[in-house]
């Protein structure tokens, strides 16, 4: 059994295998933990720095808030002999643009997320999550700044990569794939400053907040969430898979000891 001192244990999730599966190529001594139809792969990250010991537990959850919450809970409850509990959870994947300035391959690292289909009114105001009494789930500012600056610096030194501009701001999470312009415009009116929409991020953030675990969400724009969204999304996934691990690997290489 692997036993290492002074090791970080980081949980990494995506909704689909295309978003994180290439990470398996960067792990050694992989073990599997299987929970029904969810498989969590755990192993030591292959680092060029022998002093940097990072253990990774990785999975893809399936689409939607319930699947994402279930996967995050399973991930955080892992008990691997000789390895500490997960200290940070990273969710990485694609999203639809809500900001008209955004293009395919732009990156959104949200400073805050909202579950736009949460509505417990009139008991609570619309969008409020009763368990937290908050509507917008805010990422730790120091972690947000570190993640943003690390990725920007990496991309500046690797301009051959397909990624575009890096944004912060608001992401909306809900259990529907937005493909109609009228639906997108409705959300934008309700949520000024909305940058992107997806189906898992705010659920991951809620679980992490309630479990007192730091979290990072990284989204790459795949489509404009309008009538061409489904076609653009499927075409984009084919090329995105080849670069999907790049941003995560960038963060791991700079991860504080």
**What is the set of active-site residues?**
19, 223
> Three-state DSSP class for 21?
helix
Q: Please give the Cα distance from 192 to 1 (Å, whole number).
A: 51
Q: Please give the Cα distance from 112 to 13 (Å, whole number).
A: 18
Q: Are 42 and 55 in contact (CB under 8 A)?
A: yes
And the tokens for 212? Answer: 């007192």
What are the E-state strand segments in the chain? 8-14, 27-35, 38-45, 54-60, 88-97, 107-108, 112-115, 136-138, 166-167, 170-173, 194-198, 215-223
């Amino acid at each position: 059994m692997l036993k290492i001192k002074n090791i970080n244990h980081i949980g990494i999730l995506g909704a689909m295998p295309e978003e994180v599966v290439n990470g398996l190529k960067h792990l050694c001594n992989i073990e599997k933990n299987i929970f029904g139809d969810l498989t969590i792969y755990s192993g030591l990250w292959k680092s060029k720095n022998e002093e940097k010991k990072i253990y990774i537990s990785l999975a893809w959850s399936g689409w939607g808030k319930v699947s994402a919450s279930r996967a995050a809970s399973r991930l955080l409850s892992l008990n691997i002999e000789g390895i500490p509990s997960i200290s940070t959870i990273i969710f990485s994947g694609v999203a639809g643009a809500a900001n008209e300035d955004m293009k395919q391959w732009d990156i959104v690292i949200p400073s805050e997320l909202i579950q736009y289909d949460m509505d417990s009114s009139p008991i609570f105001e619309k969008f409020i999550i009763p368990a937290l009494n908050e509507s917008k789930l805010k990422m730790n500012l120091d972690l947000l700044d570190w993640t943003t600056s690390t990725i920007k610096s990496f991309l500046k030194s690797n301009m051959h990569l397909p990624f575009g501009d890096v944004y912060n701001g608001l992401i909306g999470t809900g259990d529907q794939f937005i493909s109609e312009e009228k639906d997108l415009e409705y959300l934008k009116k309700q949520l000024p400053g909305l940058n992107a929409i997806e189906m898992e991020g705010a659920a991951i953030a809620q679980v992490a907040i309630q479990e007192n675990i730091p979290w990072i969400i990284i989204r790459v724009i795949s489509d404009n969430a309008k009538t061409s969204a489904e076609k653009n999304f499927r075409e984009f996934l084919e090329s995105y898979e080849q670069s999907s691990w790049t941003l995560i690997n960038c963060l791991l290489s700079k991860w504080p000891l």
